[in-house]
A = this chain, B = another copy of it.
Amino acid sequence: MPERRSAVRLADVAERAGVSIATASRSLSGSSGVSVRVADHVRTVALALGYVVNPHARSLAGGATASVGLIVHEIGDPYFSEIASGVLRVAAREGMTAQICHSGRDPQTELTQIRTLVAHRIGGIIVAGSGWVDPRVQADAKAELLSFRRSGGRVAVIGRHHVAVDAVLPDNQAGARSVAEHVLAQGHRRIAIAAGSRRLTTIADRLAGIDDVLRARGRTLDEVPVVEADFTRDGGKEAAARILAEHGDATAILALNDAMAIGVLSTLRSAGVDVPGQVSVTGFDDVPVAEDLAPGLTTVRLPMARMGELAMTLALKAPAARPRRQTTGHTLVVRDSTGPARR
């Protein structure tokens, strides 16, 4: 590679300010042991010279790294791009950079990504996306994350994971209760569920919320068909097709995220099933387009961008003695995809 533009270095700032390189470093990195007068002067000079620290040199010398890694299942999924948006907003505000990578909802890939980020001496890691019900699935990732944190790295997760780190917890169970209440209150008794893999904590928690509501009415989740498929639009289409074929008497389909709900609506439309006339449909997350579907999707709003901001904020803070947990809250958004049971 050809020579890089000779940037202004710390030594230049030090010389121009008439101080030693050590003093300049201390002034700029905000460590103590410099008189305020000198520190201010150095900062002024640095600004005038347009000095920007070389993060590689800083990291190599053992300084702090102003970068975080964000691991999402797939950035093209609106749920994750909203979260990423929140993370990037805070990152920009704090002068940090963010590396984003895909896990593809695959524990092995996730592990690889974590290892890469650690090897790159990243300052913090945010894992967005559901954990796994079986702790063993993410045991290696957990070990890696913990060892990273022990060595000074910051860690935050979004979603329920079996690892004792700061976490942003989406209101999955309570949200599911809200939407299930709503559907049952409309008189629906024969419901079906379009779910992603039950091995994900997100699914488990949302199912648990539905179960809560059912039990309050003397029923249980075991009585209702839970059709598992990909946690995507196509998975929703597939699930709806199976529900139509095997549980054609269902009057409501609860999809466990909006992507699946969109697929469900698509299949229902193709099959000529009126929503909500014949079948009511609900989603979860309230991705931006949910209100623009026709019918508008009844769903549970999770503050995705805010969750990203929170996670980033947690990852910025010095680690607490015990892991912080922040719950997000949720809002039931009733639109036109649900209506009273007619059968």
Residues of A within 8 A of B (CB): 1-5, 7, 52-57, 59-60, 62-64, 67, 74-78, 81-82, 84-85, 88-89, 91-92, 97-102, 115-121, 147-148, 150-152, 233, 262, 265-266, 269, 288-289, 291-295, 305
Contact = CB atoms under 8 A, between A and B. Distances in A.
A81 B92 contact: no
Contacts of A1: 62-64, 152
Contact of A76 (B84, B151, B152, B294): B84
Identical chains in the assembly: 2
A100 B84 contact: yes
Determine which residue in A75, A91, A233 has the highest number of CB atoms from chain B within 10 A of its CB, and name it. A75
24 contacts: A1-B64, A1-B152, A4-B151, A4-B152, A7-B119, A52-B116, A52-B119, A53-B119, A54-B60, A55-B56, A55-B119, A56-B59, A57-B60, A60-B60, A75-B84, A75-B85, A76-B305, A88-B101, A92-B101, A98-B101, A99-B99, A99-B100, A100-B100, A289-B289
B151 A3 contact: yes
Contact of A89 (B2, B88, B102, B117): B102
A151 B2 contact: yes
A115 to B, nearest CB: 8
A151 B118 CA distance: 28
A121 B60 contact: no
B78 A121 contact: no
A95 to B, nearest CB: 8
Given A74-B85, A262-B292, A293-B293, 6 more contacts: A5-B118, A55-B120, A84-B100, A92-B101, A97-B99, A97-B116
Nearest to A154: B1
Nearest to A84: B75
Contact of A294 (B7, B85, B293): B293
Determine which residue in A7, A60, A67, A269 has the highest number of CB atoms from chain B within 10 A of its CB, and name it. A60
Contacts of A262: 289, 292
B75 A78 contact: no
A233 B100 CA distance: 26
A63 B53 CA distance: 18
A266 B76 CA distance: 23
Contacts of A82: 76
Contacts of A2: 150-152
A151 B150 CA distance: 38
A295 B294 CA distance: 8
Contacts of A56: 55-57, 59-60, 120-121
A123 B114 CA distance: 21
Q: A-B pairs with the 8 shortest C-beta distances?
A: A294-B294, A52-B119, A76-B85, A81-B81, A1-B152, A56-B56, A56-B59, A2-B152
